[in-house]
Amino acid sequence: MITQIKGLHHVTSMAGHAQQNSDFFTKKLGLRRVKKTVNFDAPDVYHLYYGDEFGTPGSVMTYFPFPNIAQGRQGAGEVGDTYFSVPRGTMNFWKDRLMAQGVRGLGESEIFGERRLRFDGPDRDSFSLIETDGDNRTGWQHGEISSSEAIQGFRGASLRVKDAAATGELLRFMGYEQVDTQGNHTRFAIPGGNGADVIDVEAVPGASDARQGAGSVHHIAFAVEDRAAQLEVRKALMDTGYQVTPVIDRDYFWAIYFRTPGGVLFEVATNEPGFDRDEDIAHLGESLKLPTRYEQHRQQIEQLLEPITD
């Protein structure tokens, strides 16, 4: 069994408009934009990162905003909801705030003993705020959102799959423990994890396959401390029969990827070196940062990218 994974590192999704995306996460949800860079495989497309003050692993939501991208279609083989953790007693604050901000799809519920507020992102992405006891992480204080109300990071995510048993087996191998079942949802958690350490598996055996597009999660990343731990995880996965990519340098972390039995793309990312490797903490996310191989094309790339105003 893998023991090096401590919870989520980041979640990466696709969007339609960069400015709309930035405004939603920074102005409505109050997250900090911690990096403005480009897609390594398509440098004419932004890669935007949002999180806490430091971009701590377990807090970072990232987006590829593709202009004119088609809308995604929900179904099996994808991440369903992405869960954010908020302090106990702040749900009414968040409900009132999101209603005033015109956020769509608001709905309150309770599952696994947790009060949650579900809502839609600008591309009909699916999110939930979950009141969490014992989460000592500090959120980004921004404007009307104080540190006592701010999003503390991820709580976790749900996976929507046809074969819940196979996905559960993989999660147990990755160090998660099954802790509860409610209806067609089974909860898994990492004991002593990083706070972003629950995964709910939703069994949808009769669902159509998801189609990726705007509002779809592209991949979900799990956190390990360093490259040595990542190599141990890679070997364990490959020894079990998974096809895992070589280690890829993503500037702010190293990454490996593999496809799960349920069809979801998993990444394992390192906590090192972090988002302050090329920017001072006080100025994270302000300037366009380019991978070294694209720096010589900065002028052309900047002309292709939609300007983002803060």
For residues 123 and 71, is the Cβ–Cβ distance under 8 A? yes
d(CA 7, CA 158): 13
For residues 151 and 141, is the Cβ–Cβ distance under 8 A? no
Q: What is the pLDDT of residue 310?
A: 82
Instruction: List the chain pLDDT tens, one digit each, 310 residues.
Output: 999 999 999 999 999 999 999 999 999 999 999 999 999 999 999 999 999 999 999 999 999 999 889 999 999 999 999 999 999 999 999 999 999 999 999 999 999 999 999 999 999 999 999 999 889 999 998 888 998 999 999 999 999 999 999 999 999 999 999 999 999 999 999 999 999 999 999 999 999 999 999 999 999 999 999 999 999 999 999 999 999 999 999 999 999 999 999 999 999 999 999 999 999 999 999 999 999 999 999 999 999 998 998 8
pTM of the full structure: 0.96
CA dihedral 38, 40, 44, 47 (to 10 degrees): -30
Amino acid identity at 186: T
Q: What is the pLDDT of residue 257?
A: 98
Token duo for residue 147 = 């540190």
- The C-alpha angle with vertex 61 and arms to 40 and 38, in degrees rounded to 5, equals 20
Tell me the H-state helices in the chain: 18-23, 91-100, 164-173, 227-239, 298-304
Is 252 in a helix, a strand, or coil? coil
Please, what is the end-to-end C-alpha distance for the chain in angstroms?
A: 45
Q: What is the pLDDT of residue 143?
A: 82
Token duo for residue 262 = 């349920």
d(CA 30, CA 139): 9
Q: Beta 177-182 vs 248-249: how paired, if at all?
A: unpaired
Q: What is the pLDDT of residue 86?
A: 97
d(CA 208, CA 211): 9
- Residue 239 pairs with which residues in a beta bridge? none
Q: What is the pLDDT of residue 131?
A: 95
Q: What is the pLDDT of residue 157?
A: 98
**249-to-200, 253, 254 alpha-carbon distances in Å:** 29, 7, 5
With tokens 């990343």, the residue in question is 221
Q: What is the pLDDT of residue 154?
A: 98
d(CA 179, CA 188): 6
